[in-house]
Amino acid sequence: MVSQPSSNVGQSEQTGSLPHLGSQRDSTVEMPWKLSMTHADHHRDDTLTSIKTMRSELKSDDTMASSNSDIEKRTEQSQRDYFFLGKPMSVVHELVFFAVVSTANFTPHSGFHQTLCILQLIATDLGATQPAQLVWLMAGYGLTVGTFILPAGRLGDIYGYKRLFLIGNLWFAVFSLLAGFAVFIPIQTSIHSQSRYAIFLLARILQGIGPALMIPNGVALLGVTYVPGPRKAMLFAIFGAMAPASAIISPAVTSLFALVWWPYAFWAFAIVLVGVAFAGLYVIPDPPIVAGRGEERFDERRHRPGLFNLCAELDVLGALTGVSGLVLISVALNQGSLAGWQNAYVSVLLAAGILLCVLFVYVEKHVRKPLIPLEALNVGVGFVLAAVGCGWGCFGIYIFYIWEFYEVLRGASPLLATAWHSPIFVSGIAAALTTGLIIHRVGPAVVMALALLAFTVGVTLIATAPINQAYWLQTFLCNVIITWGMDLSFPAATLMLSDLVAPEHQGIAASLVTTVVNYSGALALGIAGAVELHVNGNGRTPEDILRGYRGAWYVGIGLGAVGLLISLAFVCRFSRPFRVAA
């Protein structure tokens, strides 16, 4: 913790050393932002006052103008020190650092889109013929990401965001390799009728643990590195723009590999992930150490058994009940929607999942260090999560079925479908930059309402588009508009929670948003898949298939409309307070 800020500032100015802005517990950063901001503001005010005084004294002496300029430059440089983990960082180092960390919002989306764009090719080689099998290849990945983000955020708070970010990249790489090698498994064996599909699905499910480790810890690295302000808001907006960039770059590269053989795309992706981990090892700075706090925590741990202390810090019981409950509920809802609720095991799984979630809430109220501090969950947090869940559930339905619409009904190749989808790249970057500029002026609540409006309008356009209609009408406008929903909602949500929670819970704040984003998208896709199967007439004709797709999109419209109503209901109450806080 920061102690005696005024003396520390003076010391840092005299010796060139930097004041401690945080403390470390097993490479964990705790950034007392309010105190560090006060510290920095005090430092800036004192320095600027000194500059003004010096200017008045030296006003008649033109020879001292260069000295004033040098002082201003040194002042700007000292202010830059407060943006980082208590250490100076050059502009080049900062750019490389941000490029590496921002892959936490690029490669997870790549893992989704590289399978989505060639799903029909993969299904042919895997022997997957049922629509429900294709839905599970996409939903299984998202459910794993959304389920394991919560404990991943806690692990980052305990063991360090950098360490978990690197491990996540390596884990992601290993199971991307496995997904590519699944093609060598026989389609059928004497024991399993679809062994190749089963191996690929297993690889997809386990792939999701990598992004679950990367996303919250990547966001947390940005959260603890930059103090709240316009600079942080803009960088979070650029971070959000990585998603639409990935949605185009990844399908384009994957489609090129698929011209030769689609497993090459997964193997190349694994190489990229290893490269990111290697670069992050050197460019992500290690956090500073505050000796007093570290010794205090060491004394506390010394009197506890190692295993007991570890379980208490990780909230193992809470993680087991929470993760198990989410997994069982998601499997039950998806299987009930796709296979039918008449199956007894579906009801059993759902009841067990709900019971475990109730037990999770009880555990979180009584453990020493809960996975999710329930006292921190207020009406504002509920607004953010509910709006994000509705919006990204709508988006998850849109993104899956629009690719099916391109390739199945309009007969596009993966490359042509990527070209049709490419407007989201330019629109996404424009939306992200706009978010960074307006979020401090209108407030995140207003931004969230605009995002839900974009989600709703975009999916309505594609849901009403005929098969043979020109691309430049509703399909093009859909891609342009719905991207604004994605890039307005995610930065607004992550920025609000990052600025409003305690520094030691930065990983948890990032986890809450990304859990809802991935989990809601996967669950909504399962429900939409059930609607598709019940209204498509077994998909005998293109009109039947289109009817099924539209049924799924109508579910997305409903989710978007509900989210918009939630946003409008809260925008008057939260717009001004959050704008002031930001």
CATH (domain of 554): 1.20.1250.20
| Partner residues linked to 30 by β-bridges | 23
Reading the chain (582 residues) residue by residue, the pLDDT tens digits are 333 333 333 333 333 333 333 333 333 333 333 333 333 444 434 444 443 443 444 344 444 444 444 434 444 444 444 455 556 677 788 889 999 999 998 999 899 999 999 998 998 888 877 777 788 888 888 888 877 887 887 788 778 889 999 999 999 999 999 999 988 887 665 555 577 888 898 999 999 999 989 988 888 888 778 777 777 777 877 887 787 788 889 999 999 999 999 999 999 999 999 999 999 999 888 765 433 344 444 444 444 446 666 676 677 787 788 888 888 887 887 777 666 677 788 888 889 989 988 898 888 887 777 777 766 666 667 777 888 899 999 999 999 999 999 999 999 999 999 999 989 888 877 887 787 778 777 777 788 889 999 999 999 999 999 999 999 989 999 999 998 988 788 777 776 666 656 665 555 665 677 778 878 888 888 888 888 888 887 777 888 999 999 999 999 999 999 999 988 887 776 555 444 444
Report how far residue 8's alpha carbon sits from residue 5's, in angstroms, rounded to the nearest whole number. 5
107 with 246, same domain: the answer is: yes
User: Six-digit token pair at 168?
Assistant: 């996540």
198 with 327, same domain: the answer is: no
Asked if residue 391 is part of any domain, the answer here is yes
- Amino acid in position 473: L
274 with 326, same domain: the answer is: no
Asked if residue 85 is part of any domain, the answer here is no
Asked if residue 5 is part of any domain, the answer here is no
Would you say the pTM of this structure is higher than 0.85? no
Range list of H helices, 343-378:
344-366
Report how far residue 281's alpha carbon sits from residue 140's, in angstroms, rounded to the nearest whole number. 30
Asked if residue 3 is part of any domain, the answer here is no
Q: Residue 71's closest CA among 82, 79, 81?
A: 79
151 with 269, same domain: the answer is: yes
360 with 379, same domain: the answer is: no
Asked if residue 256 is part of any domain, the answer here is yes
Report how far residue 260's alpha carbon sits from residue 242's, in angstroms, rounded to the nearest whole number. 27
| Partner residues linked to 195 by β-bridges | none
Per-residue model confidence (pLDDT) at position 382: 74
Report how far residue 161's alpha carbon sits from residue 158's, in angstroms, rounded to the nearest whole number. 8
Q: Check: CB of residue 346 under 8 Å from CB of residue 331.
A: no
Asked if residue 233 is part of any domain, the answer here is yes
Asked if residue 194 is part of any domain, the answer here is yes
Report how far residue 582's alpha carbon sits from residue 575's, in angstroms, rounded to the nearest whole number. 11
Per-residue model confidence (pLDDT) at position 420: 93
360 with 404, same domain: the answer is: no
DSSP annotation of 190 reads S
Per-residue model confidence (pLDDT) at position 326: 80
Report how far residue 2's alpha carbon sits from residue 5's, in angstroms, rounded to the nearest whole number. 7
> In terms of residue numbers, what domain contains 43?
12-55+67-76
| Structural domains in the chain (count) | 3
572 with 542, same domain: the answer is: yes
Asked if residue 82 is part of any domain, the answer here is no
Per-residue model confidence (pLDDT) at position 9: 34
Range list of H helices, 82-229:
91-101, 107-116, 119-126, 131-159, 161-181, 195-207, 209-225
128 with 31, same domain: the answer is: no
102 with 36, same domain: the answer is: no
424 with 456, same domain: the answer is: yes
223 with 327, same domain: the answer is: no
146 with 236, same domain: the answer is: yes
Residues 6+ apart with CB under 8 A from 441: 579
